[in-house]
A and B are shown apart, each in its own frame.
Chain A
Amino acid sequence: MRARQPDLTGVVDRDGVPIFYEVHGDGEPALLLIPPSPITHSRIYKALLPHLARHHRVVTFDGRGNGRSGRPVDVEDHTRAANVADILAVLDATGTADAVLVTHCHAAWWAVETIASQPDRVRALVAIEPGVPYLGWALESTGEVLAAAEEAQDLDPPGRERFEQQCRDLGVPTLVIHGDLDVCQHVDRGAAFAELTGGDLVVIEGSGHLALVRDPVAVNRAIIRFVDRITGAAMRRHTWTRGMHRERKVLYLSSPIGLGHVRRDLAVAEQLRTRHPDIRVEWLAQHPVTTVLEAAGETIHPASDWLASESGHIASEAAGHDLHCFQALRRMDEILVTNFMVFQEVVEDGLYDLVIGDEAWDVDHFWHENPELKRGSHVWFTDFVGYLPMPDGGEREAYLTADYNAEKIEHIERFPRIRDRAIFVGNAPDVVPEVFGPDLPKITDWTQDHFDFSGYITGFTPPPPDEAAQWRAELGYADDEKICIVTVGGSGVGEDLLHKAIAAYPIAKRAVPELRMVVVAGPRIDPQRLPRYPGLEVHGYVERLYRHLCVCDLAVVQGGLTTTMELTAARRPFLYFPLGHHFEQTYHVRHRLDQYGAGVHMDYVATDPDGLAAAITAEIGRAVDYRPVETDGAERAAAMIAELI
């Protein structure tokens, strides 16, 4: 899913070539992001656009030859003049009187010619790695298009002197951003361009030709700083608070992927407050986490509204009982950079003593990539360590997971100061006995060396037997009934499992006449779409579902950690079906449940309704001998964090 959808899209016809454009956000001055050469299209700006659009009106378009624009193959259709005319046509079509032009590579030339011919339409120029085209998104164009574009350069050679004079006469503020390892356009070219135009030069050392993709945080910040400066848009009033005059403040980030995080994070925050009654905790969070926080009376930072939806992205990545969560996380890249930019503004403004990130992937990743941006102490929480490949991903997925693991290991080796405390929500044996990849350490050893272990944090205390009996009565479950709860939690993922359980119901009911199956569709699945049988209950949202889970005779669930560990803590029998291609549920959660001797692992694909009915029959009402789940996890975690504030 994209981090931001356009507010407006359109097509402008340029002599028979459709040019597709998008408009995002508002705020002066407007920025026009110009893609370079048909080898890429407007998505090359995906890591910049959402951030820039939070401050400015941003217009972008697909250049001729790629994206959603036409693909002319005549050489005459790819001259610089044609591209300049596209730029002006998009400004006209979007009613943009003038704009800051943001270019990459070759587009800098078009911008220079645009300014030379229509100086009133351009406020300033940001030229990222100015020069000639490079690879990326190549497969959406064609060789014919590229060949025509290359040849077109020869039709109208720039003429060195004329071009240099144009640069000297540019007359608008210019910023050049250039990676010093650029092998497509040498950094000296960027420096020379800055020199000629009298512009500023930002060199990103260690970055190549696509700093805007590979180092988006630095590029975003450089652009916003530049535009603020040329427009004099610095804040008219700013407050700084003396260090010793500040209250103790914590910014808490709770991952919205699964509701288990917020439950445990609230428990940790509560424990932290008992140790430091004077702290102020603010939450940077998004739906559905915010719903839980609001109900708990917590303070939600208003910038939370600017966050791009991570849970929406995850839902969009799921199909049936399948979620390739490693790839889903990779494809969340533009959402992560967008949300990091929001976060960074919040911490630069908010003077927090401590940032707690419960699987706040964006913060942990980009603070390691941009270590000078760290503000406050940082606590990293996670309940699994190590990306693991799924077998059918083959060599490529094994390579990718190892590469991601290696990057994280290198991050931590190089900048141990970024994580002041890393807390594994669990115990050492819960860590999977695997390796991070070829020539990489064992996950168990490395995690021992780099984490503290809090034990599991349920966020609730299971009821003692007499109270459980009372709950059961209150919920209307009779002693002679055998209650089977089927739930896929609060996500929209996993409706297929509900269908499979419902199909198993009549079969199981024949074997277990006391069976009462309660299907909870959750807030995102329409219960009307589910089939009905006499005696089968289907509910939409159920308040305090954990109470039902605590007193049921069997639960049928997905392989998510939170729900399965709740059932483990409540000592209920349960069948769990890890989502397909979900490495965390498949390996990490299963391994942990095995440590507790809890639950029956089920293979979704291999289990038909008969098989499920047989498993229900075998497990329902069975007395369990799980290893008890620790109840002091939140307290232990808070003790580790409290030292930092």
Chain B
Amino acid sequence: MRARLPDVEGHVDRDGVEIGYEVHGNGAPTLLLLPAWTIVHSRLWKGQVPYLARRHRVVVFDGPGNGRSDRPQDPDPYGHEAVAAAAIDVMDAIGTDAVVLVSLSKGANWSLKLAVDHPEHVLGQVFIAPSVPLAPPSGARARSVDTFYDELEDPQGWEKNNAHYWLRHYEDFAEFFFSQCFPEPHSTKQREDTVGWALETKPEVLLADAMAGMPDRDTVLGWCARVDSPVLVIHGSEDRISPLSRAEALTEATGGELVVLQGSGHIPLARDPVKVNLALRDFVDRVAS
């Protein structure tokens, strides 16, 4: 059973793609928890929503390609402009002016895009394990980017991060990927959850997403320079997906604050939910005052 059921559920239509959202609670300010990579969906935030909704209106939505959203197989809906636009659509649909944005991993890019395009709608931003191109990805994963479209013989480890492997062995890839997301011992439940969410979509969808491309370093730096609301960055020291140096660079570029989680991996909101919740609470309280 879920710890809390949504007060409102709905869909918005973004250029023909249905985007599913949920609203929980009703305190100010509103928090908008952004989608991350399409391999997961909004249940990612299950450790946060019930707690935060006791004090705030909390909005989550599924990005295109997973959860209750459509699963288009062309790249356009997955670009950062499209996802940022979907977020605005959701805000319009529920009637909210300004929000605190909370993002995980590549959701950071959409958060920044929203904050610079619509500063009037953004009170502050929390970036958890931001995957932004301000520093290279973590070691072995970085190399897999170069061979992503190659046909590999018996790929091992990060070589499984490969278009062909996805199509043939999607579940095995997901299990590998989340084993890397959760290096913390005894993370079995978190791995099962995330693999389960991965299996709610399919590799063809992820490939469409992959083709949408990401903003480059200079673009992101330009966004950072224009951020004028408070920023909190939360990052694990053992993140094998996006290294701590990215969080440090993002903190520096936005003039934000950094909370380093010593011993944590890429998805601390699932593995260290209490600490993440408390950090979110403190930040939102400060922003709200």
Chain B residues whose CB sits within 8 angstroms of the CB of A245 once the complex forms = 262-263
Chain A residues whose CB sits within 8 angstroms of the CB of B251 once the complex forms = 236-237
- Interface residue total, chain B, C-beta cutoff 8 A: 16
Q: Given the complex of chains A and B, what is the CA–CA distance between A240 and B264 in angstroms?
A: 10
With A229-B286, A229-B289, A234-B286 already in contact, the answer to whether A239 and B257 are too (CB < 8 A) is no
Chain A residues whose CB sits within 8 angstroms of the CB of B286 once the complex forms = 229, 232, 234
**Which residues 227-264 in B have Cβ within 8 Å of A in the complex?**
230, 251, 257-264
With A229-B286, A234-B286 already in contact, the answer to whether A241 and B257 are too (CB < 8 A) is no
Q: Given the complex of chains A and B, what is the CA–CA distance between A234 and B258 in angstroms?
A: 11
Residue pair B258, A240 in contact (C-beta under 8 Å): no
Identify the closest chain A residue to B271 (Cβ): A242
Asked if A235 is at the interface of the complex by the 8 Å CB criterion, the answer is yes
Q: Given the complex of chains A and B, what is the CA–CA distance between A236 and B256 in angstroms?
A: 7
Residue pair A237, B262 in contact (C-beta under 8 Å): no
Dominant secondary structure at the B interface:
mixed
Q: Given the complex of chains A and B, what is the CA–CA distance between A207 and B264 in angstroms?
A: 42
Residue pair B184, A240 in contact (C-beta under 8 Å): no
Identify the closest chain A residue to B234 (Cβ): A240
Q: Given the complex of chains A and B, what is the CA–CA distance between A235 and B257 in angstroms?
A: 7
Chain A residues whose CB sits within 8 angstroms of the CB of B230 once the complex forms = 232
Chain B residues whose CB sits within 8 angstroms of the CB of A229 once the complex forms = 286, 289
Q: Given the complex of chains A and B, what is the CA–CA distance between A229 and B184 in angstroms?
A: 34
Residue pair B258, A241 in contact (C-beta under 8 Å): no
Residue pair B261, A242 in contact (C-beta under 8 Å): yes
Residue pair B184, A242 in contact (C-beta under 8 Å): yes
**Chain A nearest Cβ from B224, distance in angstroms:** 15
Residue pair B257, A242 in contact (C-beta under 8 Å): no
CB < 8 Å neighbour of A240 from B185, B257, B259:
B259
Residue pair B258, A236 in contact (C-beta under 8 Å): yes
Asked if A238 is at the interface of the complex by the 8 Å CB criterion, the answer is yes
CB < 8 Å neighbour of B264 from A232, A236, A242:
A242
Residue pair B260, A240 in contact (C-beta under 8 Å): yes
Could you mark each residue 168-199 of chain B with 1 if its beta carbon is under 8 Å from any beta carbon of chain A, else 0?
A: 00000000000000001100000000000000
Chain B residues whose CB sits within 8 angstroms of the CB of A606 once the complex forms = none
Q: Given the complex of chains A and B, what is the CA–CA distance between A23 and B259 in angstroms?
A: 35
Chain A residues whose CB sits within 8 angstroms of the CB of B259 once the complex forms = 237-240
Residue pair A238, B264 in contact (C-beta under 8 Å): no
Could you mark each residue 219-252 of chain A with 1 if its beta carbon is under 8 Å from any beta carbon of chain B, else 0?
A: 0000000000100101111111110110000000
Asked if B118 is at the interface of the complex by the 8 Å CB criterion, the answer is no
Asked if B46 is at the interface of the complex by the 8 Å CB criterion, the answer is no
Asked if B275 is at the interface of the complex by the 8 Å CB criterion, the answer is yes
Q: Given the complex of chains A and B, what is the CA–CA distance between A238 and B262 in angstroms?
A: 10
Chain B residues whose CB sits within 8 angstroms of the CB of A244 once the complex forms = 184-185, 263
Dominant secondary structure at the A interface:
mixed
Residue pair B184, A239 in contact (C-beta under 8 Å): no
Residue pair A234, B289 in contact (C-beta under 8 Å): no
**Chain A nearest Cβ from B21, distance in angstroms:** 31
With A229-B286, A242-B263, A242-B264 already in contact, the answer to whether A237 and B257 are too (CB < 8 A) is yes
Chain A residues whose CB sits within 8 angstroms of the CB of B262 once the complex forms = 239-242, 245
**Chain A nearest Cβ from B252, distance in angstroms:** 10
Chain A residues whose CB sits within 8 angstroms of the CB of B263 once the complex forms = 241-242, 244-245
Q: Given the complex of chains A and B, what is the CA–CA distance between A240 and B279 in angstroms?
A: 10
Q: Given the complex of chains A and B, what is the CA–CA distance between A240 and B274 in angstroms?
A: 12
With A229-B286, A229-B289, A244-B185 already in contact, the answer to whether A236 and B261 are too (CB < 8 A) is no
Residue pair B257, A238 in contact (C-beta under 8 Å): yes
**Chain A nearest Cβ from B277, distance in angstroms:** 12
Chain B residues whose CB sits within 8 angstroms of the CB of A235 once the complex forms = 257
Asked if B272 is at the interface of the complex by the 8 Å CB criterion, the answer is yes
Chain B residues whose CB sits within 8 angstroms of the CB of A237 once the complex forms = 251, 257-260
**Chain A nearest Cβ from B79, distance in angstroms:** 33
Residue pair B289, A240 in contact (C-beta under 8 Å): no
**Chain A nearest Cβ from B251, distance in angstroms:** 7
With A242-B184, A242-B264 already in contact, the answer to whether A236 and B257 are too (CB < 8 A) is yes
**Chain B nearest Cβ from A348, distance in angstroms:** 13
Q: Given the complex of chains A and B, what is the CA–CA distance between A235 and B264 in angstroms?
A: 20
Residue pair B272, A234 in contact (C-beta under 8 Å): no
Q: Given the complex of chains A and B, what is the CA–CA distance between A236 and B260 in angstroms?
A: 11
Q: Given the complex of chains A and B, what is the CA–CA distance between A237 and B259 in angstroms?
A: 6
Identify the closest chain A residue to B258 (Cβ): A237
Residue pair A238, B184 in contact (C-beta under 8 Å): no
Q: Given the complex of chains A and B, what is the CA–CA distance between A241 and B259 in angstroms?
A: 10
Residue pair B260, A239 in contact (C-beta under 8 Å): yes
Q: Given the complex of chains A and B, what is the CA–CA distance between A235 and B272 in angstroms?
A: 21
Identify the closest chain A residue to B232 (Cβ): A234
Q: Given the complex of chains A and B, what is the CA–CA distance between A245 and B258 in angstroms?
A: 19
Chain B residues whose CB sits within 8 angstroms of the CB of A242 once the complex forms = 184, 261-264, 272
Q: Given the complex of chains A and B, what is the CA–CA distance between A244 and B264 in angstroms?
A: 10
Identify the closest chain B residue to A245 (Cβ): B263
Q: Given the complex of chains A and B, what is the CA–CA distance between A241 and B263 in angstroms?
A: 6
Q: Given the complex of chains A and B, what is the CA–CA distance between A141 and B42 in angstroms?
A: 68
**Chain A nearest Cβ from B186, distance in angstroms:** 8
Q: Given the complex of chains A and B, what is the CA–CA distance between A465 and B272 in angstroms?
A: 61
Chain B residues whose CB sits within 8 angstroms of the CB of A239 once the complex forms = 259-262
Q: Given the complex of chains A and B, what is the CA–CA distance between A234 and B279 in angstroms?
A: 12
Q: Given the complex of chains A and B, what is the CA–CA distance between A244 and B275 in angstroms?
A: 13
Chain A residues whose CB sits within 8 angstroms of the CB of B184 once the complex forms = 242, 244
**Chain B nearest Cβ from A212, distance in angstroms:** 23
Residue pair A238, B258 in contact (C-beta under 8 Å): yes
Identify the closest chain B residue to A235 (Cβ): B257
Q: Given the complex of chains A and B, what is the CA–CA distance between A232 and B229 in angstroms?
A: 12
Chain A residues whose CB sits within 8 angstroms of the CB of B275 once the complex forms = 240
**Chain A nearest Cβ from B3, distance in angstroms:** 22
Chain B residues whose CB sits within 8 angstroms of the CB of A232 once the complex forms = 230, 286
**Chain A nearest Cβ from B124, distance in angstroms:** 12
Chain B residues whose CB sits within 8 angstroms of the CB of A241 once the complex forms = 261-263
**Chain A nearest Cβ from B175, distance in angstroms:** 23
Identify the closest chain B residue to A241 (Cβ): B262
Could you mark each residue 257-289 of chain B with 1 if its beta carbon is under 8 Å from any beta carbon of chain A, else 0?
A: 111111110000000100100000000001001
Residue pair A238, B260 in contact (C-beta under 8 Å): yes
Q: Given the complex of chains A and B, what is the CA–CA distance between A237 and B244 in angstroms?
A: 12
Q: Given the complex of chains A and B, what is the CA–CA distance between A236 and B254 in angstroms?
A: 12
**Chain B nearest Cβ from A197, distance in angstroms:** 14
**Chain A nearest Cβ from B238, distance in angstroms:** 9
Q: Given the complex of chains A and B, what is the CA–CA distance between A240 and B275 in angstroms?
A: 8
Q: Given A236-B257, A244-B184, 11 other A-B contacts at CB below 8 A?
A: A234-B286, A237-B260, A238-B257, A238-B259, A238-B260, A240-B259, A240-B260, A240-B261, A240-B262, A242-B184, A245-B262
List chain B positions with a Cβ less than 8 A from chain A: 184-185, 230, 251, 257-264, 272, 275, 286, 289
Complex A-B, nearest 9 residue pairs according to Cβ-Cβ distance, in ascending order:
A245-B263, A241-B262, A242-B263, A239-B260, A237-B258, A238-B259, A236-B257, A240-B261, A239-B262
List chain A positions with a Cβ less than 8 A from chain B: 229, 232, 234-242, 244-245
A-B contact pairs, 12 of them (CB 8 A): A232-B230, A232-B286, A236-B251, A236-B258, A239-B260, A241-B261, A241-B262, A241-B263, A242-B262, A242-B263, A242-B272, A245-B262
